């Protein structure tokens, strides 16, 4: 990606953009273009800040997050240039996932409109701490598909609704997010999409067993498996 020329137009700092398969949730297996936007409001992204940010934000994700979303190696692109890059990278793939970090720190209505103008369906993966109306304004300019994976207690979330609610177990449990689960849009599907995703890493085996037990105890919830890792794709 070549950076956009200076023009006074808003730019988005993009750490990575790649074509792959969506590995999780309802759209698992669907070809997608992922756009990783720089910055997160839970962790700076730097090793030295893990403990500090976990304590400061009251979240444990800074202690285990392994995603590279810092500004190093990123480029700045206008909405038009970024949308063009998504289309070029997709090479026929018209499903785009905005991720981070926390994508709602940067994504806005102008970016959604630019992608829609090119026939791209837009999904976003957010931690739920920011308002959709605050980020995108009118609901007509919201992403087409919204996935919320909370990293804070339900009372501290600002997101109004979502299409999928994904809890990373064992640290996040269904009983703690019942109010948010009730606001998940059903989208004419067989009930709301409520996911339990086992935490990756050394606790995976125990987390997977717990996720299965929780889903069997409350069948409204489903277990999400990271299919892209099983298939060996990024």
So what's the architecture of 11-231 in CATH?
Alpha-Beta Barrel (3.20)
Q: Does 82 carry a binding-site annotation?
A: no
Q: Does 96 carry a binding-site annotation?
A: no
Q: Does 156 carry a binding-site annotation?
A: no
pLDDT at position 32: 92
Helix (H, G, I), strand (E, B) or coil at 148: strand
- In sequence order, which residues have a C-beta less than 8 Å from that of residue 185 and are 6 or more positions away? 161, 162, 163, 192
Q: Does 150 carry a binding-site annotation?
A: yes
Which pair of structure tokens corresponds to residue 87?
Answer: 């289309």
Q: Does 141 carry a binding-site annotation?
A: no
pLDDT at position 6: 60
Q: Does 36 carry a binding-site annotation?
A: yes
Encode 116-147 in three state secondary structure: HHCCCEEEEEECCCCCHHHHHCCHHHCCCEEE
Q: Does 61 carry a binding-site annotation?
A: yes
Phi-psi domain of 19 (left: phi exceeds 0; alpha: psi -120 through 50; beta: other) = beta
pLDDT at position 7: 67
Print pLDDT tens along the chain (234 aa): 777 656 689 999 999 999 998 888 888 878 899 999 999 999 999 999 999 999 999 999 999 999 999 999 999 999 999 999 999 999 999 999 999 999 999 999 999 999 999 999 999 999 999 999 999 999 999 999 999 999 999 999 999 999 999 999 888 999 999 999 999 998 756 567 788 999 988 999 999 999 989 988 887 888 888 877 877 887
pLDDT at position 180: 94
Q: Does 185 carry a binding-site annotation?
A: no
Q: Does 162 carry a binding-site annotation?
A: no
Asked if 97 contacts 112 with a C-beta cutoff of 8 angstroms, the reply is: no
Q: Does 70 carry a binding-site annotation?
A: no
pLDDT at position 12: 99
Question: How many Å apart are CA 148 and CA 132, to the nearest integer?
Answer: 11
Q: Does 232 carry a binding-site annotation?
A: no
pLDDT at position 223: 86
Q: Does 65 carry a binding-site annotation?
A: yes
Q: Does 143 carry a binding-site annotation?
A: no
């Amino acid at each position: 990606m070549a950076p956009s020329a200076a023009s006074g137009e808003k730019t988005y700092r993009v750490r990575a953009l790649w074509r792959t398969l969506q590995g999780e949730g309802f759209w698992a297996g669907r070809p997608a273009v992922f756009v990783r936007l720089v910055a997160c409001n839970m962790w700076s992204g730097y090793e030295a800040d893990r403990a500090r940010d976990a304590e400061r934000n009251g979240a444990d994700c800074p202690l285990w997050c392994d995603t590279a979303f810092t500004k190093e190696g990123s480029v700045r692109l206008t909405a038009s240039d970024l949308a063009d890059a998504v289309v070029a990278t997709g090479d026929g793939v018209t499903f785009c996932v905005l991720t981070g970090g926390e994508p709602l720190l940067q994504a806005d209505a102008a970016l959604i409109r630019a992608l829609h103008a090119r026939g791209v369906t837009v999904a976003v993966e957010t931690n739920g701490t920011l308002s959709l109306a605050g980020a995108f304004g009118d609901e007509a300019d919201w992403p087409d598909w919204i996935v919320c994976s909370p990293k804070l207690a339900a009372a501290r979330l600002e997101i109004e609704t979502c299409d999928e609610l994904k809890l990373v177990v064992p640290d996040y449990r269904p009983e703690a997010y019942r109010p948010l689960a009730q606001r998940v849009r059903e989208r004419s599907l067989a009930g709301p999409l409520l996911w339990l995703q086992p935490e990756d890493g050394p606790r995976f085996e125990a987390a997977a067993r717990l996720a299965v037990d929780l889903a069997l105890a409350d069948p409204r919830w489903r277990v999400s498996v990271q299919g892209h890792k099983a298939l060996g794709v990024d």
